[in-house]
Each structure stands twice: as C-alpha cells, then as structure tokens.
Chain A
C-alpha cells in the first residue's frame, strides 16, 4: 500500500478490504455484511492476528523476568510495541503505560490522585492531592468511562465535579469555559464524542485548564484510530485510548502520561512486576511505566497492537482521515436528509468524525437496529455508554452508524437506502412494506 495525502483510490480501498477477512462474510441468511459499528470496535486486519499468533507460536515467554532467550525476545517485542504506539501519537515510549482498556487507563489517573490524597507517593505526589474546595471539570458529552471515575474520585476526596455544557448541535459549548477556574485541578474530556462525532476544541480547553494550573486528561479513544494525533502538540498531560478501536486486539489499552507526572504518581494496581525492593514491612516501586503494570501483562495483545499501529502508520493517518472525511460527509448529509430522522450532532462534516448518532421519529433505536440488521447492516443502538449527552439532546437512546478505514461509499448508500425505509415499515410516514 502506498501512503497518500488525499482520499484513498478505489484500488487502495479494495486492497485494504482484502486485509480484513471478516468483511467478506455474510449475515442473516446470506446478506453481505455492511459493518458500520467501528466506533464500538474496529475489525482487525490479518497482520494483527498473524502477529499475535506468531508471538504465541514462536516467542511466547514472560516479559521483564527470566534470563533465557525467549524471555529476551518476548520483552523486546513488548517494548517494541510500546515504542510503535508512542510513535503513532508523538510521545516517548517511557510515557506509554499498558492497561487492559481505556477505562482502566483513566482509572489509573483517578486512583493515583486518590492515593496521593491519602498520602501515598509522598511529597512528590503532593500536586495530585485533592480535597474539599477543589474541582474536577468534565463535559456533558463524555462516555461513562470518562465521567464515572471522576464522580467516584470526587466522592472519595470531597472534591466537586463540574462540567462544560453541550450545544443543541452536540458540540462542547465554549461559552461555558468559565466553569474552569482557579479551583479546577483537572479537566477531562473526549477528543471526539462517541455519540455526536464532534471534535472538541482541544486548544481552547487546554489553554483554559493550563491557565489555572489544572491537569488535562484527554479521552482519545475515538480520535487515535481516525485522525493524526500528536499528544505532545496538543499539550495534554494524560491521554487514554483503546487498542480494539484502532484495528488492534481487545484486552489492551493505553495510558499516556507526561514523563514528570508519571514519575510523581503513586501506583493504582499493586503486586508483582511493579516493584523494586520488597520487605515484609514495605515496598519501593519501579520507575514508570513498569510501576503501573502490575502482574502478568497482556504481551500478545501488545504485539497485535504493534501490528495495528504499523498498519495505520503505513497507510498514513492523514490518508485515513482524508478517506473517512469523504465518507463522513456522505453519511451525515445522507442521514440528515431523510424525513423523520434527526442527526444528534453536527449536520456538516466540519470538525467531526464519521460517528453519526440519530433519532428516528416514532421508532425506538432498538427497532431501527433490528430492521437494518435484517438487511445485513450492523449499527449500534442504545445509549452508547453516554446517557447524559442523550438526555441533553432530548432523547433516551439513539442509533449510531460509524465508519472505519475499510468503509466504502457504497456501504453507506445501502445503509441510507434501508434507513429511509424504517419509518414506513413501522407504519409511519407511509404504508408498511
């Protein structure tokens, strides 16, 4: 495959799809699969599963222990993966902590602050302590993974949770940036919403946070698989993303932390592998990132994620973004153009990803998903782990179509054609049938 700056050519897209055997299968009695649920989880190219298999069949050993050759090779693979992922998002390998998913990555930060508040980590971690009067700021558009850990942290420390609002269009309301004030200690927000698809005004939020000395946590789950992301340039202090949404395996997530912050953080999970000296009375901890990688690690998954990161890097994230921008335009305009269907999020393709949630008037999302599934079209239905933003936009739940690097224009056509027939199937806006 060649790296291009513009959208993919038809030939390139065919070549990409050939890397994903699952896309060739049929569902529901022989219908070709139209997979529009990449925001939930991406499909995997064969190179990812090959890499995992090769690791298990030829190099499997415990990492960071043992003096034998296999242990050396496994450790090398594990650390090479760290460097590959770090390279993809523009940071140093030592700033990447492996976690089992993005949720755990966010909890690492929340529990480090919680433990610092209890005195763990000593004076080095004093800047992470929280108490009554301190504030944590999130947004109304967060996935529960970037909301509930902060609610819990506030409950444990006496800090107060506040949030930036969301506009009727589903974007973060920059008019509410005044919520960030001198009491704010941390600001956590999603780079791109998993419901509205809106890309956050990162620079404005980071500037407001840093102006008052608050730390910034970026939930980059939706952005890293679809956009060029340079965490250093974005100037965030922490970031979390998941392997399985970026063509990699499940069971592997990533926490990025600025080197000096990781060095100051007390651990969340403790036990084997993350220590220096252990006596019956106390323990000293390994430097980051090992300090945050307790217990046997998901080595094969890191190797799979390495292959995924290499695959994306070879395509070029600019090319990925350019391809998906064209699809996004087609998808969002198409959905917005159907009678009785409302897009929950921006209706143009500017500063948004190809994650399009929508409400079909008079038809529950579950029922929308069911009739589309019958046509072989896989979309997400429900609240997408983001109940508050649904409430904000005046709905209980929604249906959501989302694109990936392997999505075609023709697949979106099939989806739009069937979506247009959903209301009439349920006896609305026309005759059934």
Chain B
C-alpha cells in the first residue's frame, strides 16, 4: 500500500485499535456519555471514574465500549491512557490540544504539545482526511460530555434514546 496509508494508519494506531485500552464498561462512574457519529452510525459509551479523597476532581480512569473504525477505537484507547490520573484542567488541556492537532490539516504541533499528546500525536495524519476527523474526536467528545455530567448535578447515566446524536 502507498505511503499515505502508512502515515495515516501508523503502527501505534493499529496496535491501539487492537488492544483497546480502557475497553469494558465498569460500575461506579461519576459520569457517562453516549455519542454517535451519524455519518457512519459508529457509537461509543464512555464513563468517567473519579479518584477518591482528592480536593479537586481527578480522573482515576475512563471505561468505554463502542463500535467503530480503527481510528475511533485507537483514539479511545489512547485517550484512556492519557487522561488516567489527570485532573479536570489537564483533561481539558489534552482535549484542546488533540482538537488543535485535528484541525491542523496534517501539520504537527509544536514540540511541547506533541510531547503532551504522546501516542495521540500519531493521529496527525488523520487531520488530512476531513471525513475521518470525527472518528478521531468521537471519544474526546464523549469524555467532555461525561465530565460535564460528572461535575454537575445532572443525572450521570443517560439512555441512548435520550441522547442527541
């Protein structure tokens, strides 16, 4: 296959798509989100689990289940690694940085932000394909929504048919 595909589907992405870190919904979440990509019907349910005994909320881990392409599944796997142990401000910062990478049309970020993203930096090639950016962002949208539920008095568990896509 051609180089463009090797750049898009970097080995680290294919590995994460296979390993799916964080896969399997767990009980005791502080917030949950169900997100759908209406163009392909892909979906993810993601839960945020907060650590006990911290002054400010800290994400202990996320757990998730979903159906999707290698880009969306790998992105969720990488996200699970990145946000474990992060406080809310850090999670927001990671989300914004990943969004910046996705809106960069395939240009890498500066070294500091690349460093912050770790394996998520491998998604740089996705930003060259506008139709696939949504795939990579699906998990991050779920994270933001689940955190919002976790940090407000809103019901944390929402049935899929009540969710807007």
User: Considering only CB atoms, which chain B residue lies closest to A381 in the complex?
Assistant: B40
Kindly list chain B residues whose C-beta atoms are within 8 Å of the C-beta of A433. Answer: 1
Q: A364-B68, A367-B70 are in contact. Are A382 and B40 (CB under 8 A)?
A: yes
User: Considering only CB atoms, which chain A residue lies closest to B70 in the complex?
Assistant: A367
Kindly list chain B residues whose C-beta atoms are within 8 Å of the C-beta of A364. Answer: 68-70
B41 touches A366 (CB 8 A): no
- Interface segment among B2-10, B46-54, B102-110, B140-148: the answer is B2-10
In the assembled complex, how far is the CB of residue A186 from the closest CB belonging to chain B, in whole angstroms?
A: 26
B70 touches A383 (CB 8 A): no
Option from A28, A366, A382 in Cβ contact (under 8 Å) with B132: A366
A266 contacts the other chain (CB 8 A): no
A390 to B39, CA, bound (A): 14
Kindly list chain A residues whose C-beta atoms are within 8 Å of the C-beta of B25. Answer: none
A370 touches B5 (CB 8 A): yes
Option from B39, B41, B68, B129 in Cβ contact (under 8 Å) with A370: B129
A374 touches B4 (CB 8 A): yes
Kindly list chain A residues whose C-beta atoms are within 8 Å of the C-beta of B68. Answer: 364, 366
Q: A425-B5, A427-B14 are in contact. Are A382 and B69 (CB under 8 A)?
A: no
A421 contacts the other chain (CB 8 A): yes
Q: In the complex, which residues 367-417 of chain A have their Cβ closer than 8 Å to any Cβ of chain B?
A: 367, 370-371, 374-375, 381-383, 387, 390, 396-397
Q: A366-B135, A426-B14 are in contact. Are A396 and B41 (CB under 8 A)?
A: yes
B83 contacts the other chain (CB 8 A): no
Kindly list chain B residues whose C-beta atoms are within 8 Å of the C-beta of A381. Answer: 40
B67 touches A396 (CB 8 A): yes
Option from A28, A363, A397 in Cβ contact (under 8 Å) with B4: A28
B70 touches A426 (CB 8 A): yes
B71 contacts the other chain (CB 8 A): yes
- Residue-wise, chain A 27-42 has the 8 Å CB interface mask toward B (1 for contact) of 0110000000000000
The interface size bin for chain B is 10 to 19
B14 touches A370 (CB 8 A): no
Kindly list chain B residues whose C-beta atoms are within 8 Å of the C-beta of A225. Answer: none
- Residue-wise, chain A 150-186 has the 8 Å CB interface mask toward B (1 for contact) of 0000000000000000000000000000000000000
Kindly list chain B residues whose C-beta atoms are within 8 Å of the C-beta of A387. Answer: 41
B1 touches A382 (CB 8 A): no
Q: In the complex, which residues 129-155 of chain B have their Cβ closer than 8 Å to any Cβ of chain A?
A: 129, 132, 135
Counting chain A CB atoms within 10 Å of each CB, the highest count among B5, B42, B69, B132 belongs to B69
A365 contacts the other chain (CB 8 A): yes
- Residue-wise, chain B 39-75 has the 8 Å CB interface mask toward A (1 for contact) of 1111000000000000000000000000111110000
A133 to B28, CA, bound (A): 46
A366 touches B14 (CB 8 A): no
Kindly list chain B residues whose C-beta atoms are within 8 Å of the C-beta of A365. Answer: 40, 69
In the assembled complex, how far is the CB of residue B117 from the closest CB belonging to chain A, in whole angstroms?
A: 22
Kindly list chain B residues whose C-beta atoms are within 8 Å of the C-beta of A390. Answer: 41
Counting chain B CB atoms within 10 Å of each CB, the highest count among A29, A366, A433 belongs to A366
In the assembled complex, how far is the CB of residue B21 from the closest CB belonging to chain A, in whole angstroms?
A: 18
In the assembled complex, how far is the CB of residue B154 from the closest CB belonging to chain A, in whole angstroms?
A: 28
A128 to B69, CA, bound (A): 45
Option from A28, A29, A382, A426 in Cβ contact (under 8 Å) with B41: A382
Kindly list chain A residues whose C-beta atoms are within 8 Å of the C-beta of B129. Answer: 370
Kindly list chain B residues whose C-beta atoms are within 8 Å of the C-beta of A374. Answer: 1-2, 4-5
Kindly list chain B residues whose C-beta atoms are within 8 Å of the C-beta of A425. Answer: 1, 5, 9
A365 to B9, CA, bound (A): 15
A–B Cβ pairs within 8 angstroms, 7 of them: A366-B42, A374-B2, A374-B4, A383-B40, A396-B41, A425-B9, A426-B14
Q: Which 4 A-B pairs have the closest CB atoms?
A: A366-B69, A364-B69, A382-B40, A383-B41
> Beyond A367-B9, A371-B5: 6 further Cβ-contacts under 8 Å?
A364-B70, A365-B40, A367-B71, A390-B41, A396-B41, A421-B1
